[in-house]
Structure 1
Amino acid sequence: MKSLELSFKGTDLRIKHLRLKYVNTNLTGEEVASLMKQIADAKLFVKDDMPLYATPVRADIVETTKTALMGGTAVEPTPAA
């Protein structure tokens, strides 16, 4: 699965991450930068009057893979007698 991970610096100078699933993976860097600026300007996420996502820092597409370690199928529960 692919997701978009957005990194912002809050007004407390700590880095915060926002990970979005099911995104358009064909977005350009300029489009993502514009969207991140809109998120920062909207001040949607605030804690103790401090915006958590104040300054856009970085954006990455993250690919996650799943590897089975044991068992290949789900076990069906047996009905009670």
Structure 2
Amino acid sequence: MSNQHGDPGHGDSPAAWTAVVVMLIGIAAGTVFFFLQMPTFVWVCVGVVALGLILGAILAKAGYGVKGPRFTPKSHD
């Protein structure tokens, strides 16, 4: 598939992957702590999700986003 329309991709960059993985870990752990009725750890996990969002933005500004100079897209043959 070629990139005929100038589509930058679907967030397939190190910044996006890092943000999503950190947020998924926070959500999964938060769900477990919610069912174990441990509200302090649920709020810690909310902070982990926010950290993932911030980390993704920092990495994108550092050049690891889809249009960043440090990102080299891989071909999808």
Do these two structures clear the TM 0.5 threshold for a shared fold by scoring above it?
Answer: no
Structure richer in strand, relative to its length: 1
Asked which structure has the greater CA Rg, the reply is 1
Q: Which TM-score applies when normalising by structure 1?
A: 0.30
TM-score (norm 2): 0.31
Q: Which has the higher helix share?
A: 2
